[in-house]
A and B are shown apart, each in its own frame.
Chain A
Amino acid sequence: MEAKRLTTSDPTLENIETKYYTFAQPPDELVLESGEKLGPITLAYETYGELNKQKTNAILVLHALSGDAHAAGFQKGETVPGWWDNMIGSGKGLDTNKYFVICSNVIGGCRGSTGPSSTNPVTGKPYGTDFPIITIGDMVNAQKSLIDHLGIEKLLTVVGGSMGGMEVLQWMVAYPERIRSAIPIATTMKHTPQQIAFNEVGRQAIMADPNWKKGHYYGSAIPAKGLAVARMIGHITYMSDTSMTEKFGRRLRIDKVPLKFGADFEVEGYLRYRGDNFVKRFDANSYLYITKAIDYFNLLNGNGKSLANVFEGLKARVFVVAFKSDWLYPAYQSQEIVKACKLTGVDTTYCEVSSTYGHDAFLLEVEEETHLIKHFLNGVSNGNNGAH
C-alpha cells in the first residue's frame, strides 16, 4: 500500500517470474460450490525459496481482495516489489532461506488466474458476467489443486490477511489434514451486514457506470470511473480516523482559490489517485465477483456447523492476529475465531496488536507482524508445546 518499500537486496528475489498451472480440463471441470462447472482453470502463481527434499517447508500465502500472485521480489524491470515483500524474503517473517513460499492469484481474479476477463472456451470471447459465481471455498479448492500439483502433502502454514484470512479459515475447515498451522490475520468467520454494505456500494458504483454494459465491456471503454469510486470507498474502510488525520489532516493541495469541487483536500487527492491507479491494474468484473465471494463467506453456514464444532478434528496450531484500530474487521471478529478454537481445543495463540493504521495494519505493521510470525513458525517447525 502506501508504506515506503524497502528495496530488496536479496538476489533470489530478483527477476521473479510468474508461473502458470492449468487444470480442470473439460470434461473434468472443477465443480463449484454453486453446482456450476468451471474449466479449464489457470492459476498464476509465484514461489520464493527452495522446497526441501521432504517437502515439509512450504508456506501458502493468500492475498486480499486486490492482491495477486506477485507477493515478493521484483519482476524484470519492476521498480516496486510484490505486495508483501516486507514479509517475504531472506531473514524476513517468512524467511526464504528456510521456507518455500507460494502465492497464487485467486480464481475470479484478473492477474493471470481464470476470471471474468479470461476467454470463455465456449464462445471464444471474454466471460464477462457469464462467468459463474465463485466462493472463498472455490478459491481454496483451486489452491488445493495447485498444492497437489506441486506434490506437497502438508503445508507448514497457510497465512493471509483480510480475504486471505478467510481463505486461511476455509483451509482449516476444508483441508485440516493438509496444514500444520494456520495464520488468519485481520479477518472474520463471516461477513457482517456492515461489511457487505460497503462492498455493495462499491459494486453499485461499477454497475452504475454506463461503460459497464452489464459486464460485457471488453474491447471497448472500461467502467473506469465506477471501479475507481469502488476503490475509493475501499480505501476509506482500510484506514482509521487516526491514520487519516495523521496522514492528511485538513491540509489543502493548492495555495490559490480552490476550484469548485476539485480535489482541494489532500485526502481527496489521495483517494482519487488511488482510485485512478487501481483501474490500471484491476478488472471491474473481478471486483464484482470477488467482493461477492467475500460477502457470501460464512464459515458457519450449512452442514450443522457451529462455533462449537467448526474446527473439530483440526490438529494444526493456529495463530490469530487482529489490530486494535481495524474497524472494518474489528478485533471481536478475531475473538470469535479464537472462541471457536477454544471450544474444540485447538492449540491457538491470539494477539491483538496496537496500531493506528486501521485494517491496512496487516500490510503496514511489518515489524510487529514479522516478529510474531517468525517465532510462531519457529515453534511450529520445532514442534514444541508438549503433548502435541
Chain B
Amino acid sequence: MEQSPAKTENKIIIEWINKGSSVLDLGCGDGELLALLIKEKQVRAQGIELSETAIRRCVVQGLSVFQEDIDTGLSEYADKSFDYVILNQTFQQVKKPDFVLKEALRVGRKTIVGFPNFVNASARFQIFFKGKVPVTKSLPYEWYDTPNLHFLGIADFLGYCKKRSIHIENSAFVTKNKKIKLFPNFFAEIGLFLLSSKDTSQVTA
C-alpha cells in the first residue's frame, strides 16, 4: 500500500527526536504523531488542538491534550519547558506565524516546523498555464475552504530564518512520499525544519 505523505513526514520527525524527551505538538490533530512518538521514542507528550472531534480522538488514545488556540496557548509555559515543540502543517494556518514560532522557540529547546511548499513545480505549473490558484497533493484545498492563512515557499522560509537569526539544525524535503535533496524550492511538496534559536546553539556549542 502506498504510504501517505503524512507518514513520511512523521518518520522524519520521529528520527529527529531523542528518546525519552518531552514534546509539545501544536495543532496535534487526532494525535497520530504523538502516539507514534510515545510508542517509538517513549516521549512525554502534550498536544494542543482546537477541534473538539480531534481532541476526542486524542483522549481515546490516552494522550494529554489541551483544547485551545495555539495562537495564544503558549504564554504560560516557561522558557525551555519542552525538548521539542512541533508545528507540523499548522505553521501556515495560525493567525500570527511569526509570533507563534517565536514562542515555540522560547518554550522548546528545539522546534520542528513542517509546511507545504506553495511554490513547488506543480503549483507553479497551475498558476502559469491554468491561471488558477493551485490545488495540489500537499495543497488539497480550494481557495474558499482552505485553512491555510499564509502562503510561503522553502526559499521564503530560509530567508525568514536568516532575518530572524533562527538556527536551522536540520532540514528535509518530501515529494510524492519520498525524501528529495535537489532544488527543494522547486520540487518539494513539503519542507521540514529542525530549528533552535541562535543563542541556544551558542550555549550548547
Which residues of A does B touch, CB under 8 Å?
Answer: 317, 335, 338-339, 342-343, 345, 347-354, 371-372, 375-376, 378-379, 382, 384-388
Which of these binds chain A: B65-73, B123-131, B172-180, B189-197? B65-73
Interface residue from B59, B61, B64, B78 paired with A372 (Cβ < 8 Å):
B59
User: What is the interface of chain B mostly: helix, strand, loop, or mixed?
Assistant: mixed
Q: A385 and B44 in contact (CB under 8 A), knowing A339-B76, A371-B56?
A: yes
How far, in whole Å, are A338 and B58 apart by their CA atoms in the complex?
A: 17
Q: Chain A: which residue is nearest B73 at the CB level?
A: A342
Contacts of A388 in B (CB 8 A): 44
- Expressed in whole angstroms, the minimum distance between the Cβ of B42 and any Cβ of chain A is 5
Measured between C-beta atoms, what is the minimum distance from A156 to chain B in Å?
14
B42 touches A387 (CB 8 A): yes
Give the complex CA separation of A59 and B55 in angstroms: 24
Report the Cα distance A348→B68, complex, angstroms. Answer: 13
Please tell me if the beta carbons of A375 and B64 are within 8 angstroms of each other in the complex: no
**Pair B45/A386 contact, Cβ less than 8 Å:** yes
Q: Which of B20, B64, B81 contacts A349 (CB 8 A)?
A: B64
CB pair B67–A352 under 8 Å, yes or no, is yes
Does B104 reach chain A (CB closer than 8 Å)? no
* Contact between A384 and B76, CB atoms less than 8 A apart: no
Pairwise interchain contact B56-A348, C-beta atoms closer than 8 A = no
Q: Kindly state whether residue B22 has any CB partner on chain A within 8 Å.
A: yes
Shortest A349–chain B CB gap in Å is 5
Whether B62 contacts A384 by the Cβ 8 Å rule is yes
Asked whether, in the complex, the Cβ of A351 is within 8 Å of the Cβ of B22, the reply is: no
Q: Is the CB of B59 within 8 A of A350?
A: no
User: In the complex, A163→B73 CA distance in Å?
Assistant: 27
Q: Does chain A have a CB within 8 A of B63?
A: yes
Any A CB within 8 A of the CB of B38: yes
The CA of A196 and the CA of B98, in the complex, are separated in Å by 42
Contacting B64 at CB < 8 Å: which of A317, A343, A371, A378?
Answer: A317
Q: Which residues of A contact B59 (CB under 8 A)?
A: 349, 351, 371-372, 375-376, 379
Contact with A along B40-66 (1 / 0, CB 8 A): 011111100000100110111111111
Interface SS of A by simple majority: mixed
Instruction: Check if B65 sits within 8 Å of A349, measured CB to CB.
Output: yes
Interface size on B, residues (CB 8 A): 28
Q: Which residues of B contact A (CB under 8 A)?
A: 20, 22, 37-38, 41-46, 52, 55-56, 58-68, 76-78, 81
Name the residue on A nearest B77 (C-beta): A342
- Nearest residue (CB) in A for B37 is A386
Chain A residues with CB under 8 A of B42: 386-387
For chains A and B in complex, what number of residue pairs have CB atoms within 8 angstroms?
A: 76
Complex A-B: 12 CB contacts under 8 Å: A317-B64, A343-B76, A350-B68, A351-B52, A351-B67, A371-B60, A372-B56, A384-B38, A385-B64, A386-B37, A387-B22, A387-B44
In the bound complex, CA of A387 to CA of B20 (Å): 6
Cα(A358)–Cα(B136), bound, Å: 43
The chain A residue with its CB closest to the CB of B65 is A349
In the complex, the answer to whether A352 meets B52 with C-beta atoms within 8 Å is: yes
Which residue in A343, A348, A354 is a CB contact (below 8 Å) of B78? A343
List the 9 closest pairs (A to B, CB-CB), nearest first: A379-B62, A387-B44, A342-B76, A386-B44, A350-B66, A386-B43, A375-B60, A384-B62, A386-B42
Question: Is B52 within 8 A of A354, CB to CB?
Answer: yes
Q: CB distance A382 to B52 under 8 Å? A: no
Give the distance in Å from the alpha carbon of A384 to the alpha carbon of B43 in the complex: 10
Who on chain A is nearest to B44 by CB?
A: A387
Tell me the complex Cα distance, A85–B37, Å. 38
Chain B residues in 8 Å Cβ range of A343: 76-78
Contacts of B64 in A (CB 8 A): 317, 347-349, 385
- Report the nearest B residue to A372, measured CB to CB: B59
- Asked if B62 and A382 sit within 8 Å, CB to CB, the answer is yes
Give the chain B neighbours of A386 by CB distance below 8 A.
20, 37-38, 41-45
Assembly CA distance A386 to B23 (angstroms): 10
Pick from B43, B56, B60, B68: contact of A335, CB under 8 Å: B68
Q: Across the interface, which residues of B come within 8 angstroms of A375, CB to CB?
A: 59-62
Residues of A within 8 A of B22 (CB): 387
Q: Are B66 and A338 in contact (CB under 8 A)?
A: yes
Q: Which residues of chain A have C-beta atoms less than 8 A from B78's C-beta?
A: 343
CA separation between A376 and B199, bound complex, in Å? 39
CB closest chain-A residue, reference B52: A354
Minimum CB–CB distance from B69 to chain A (whole Å) comes to 11
Residues of A contacting B66 in the complex (Cβ-Cβ under 8 angstroms): 338, 342, 348-350
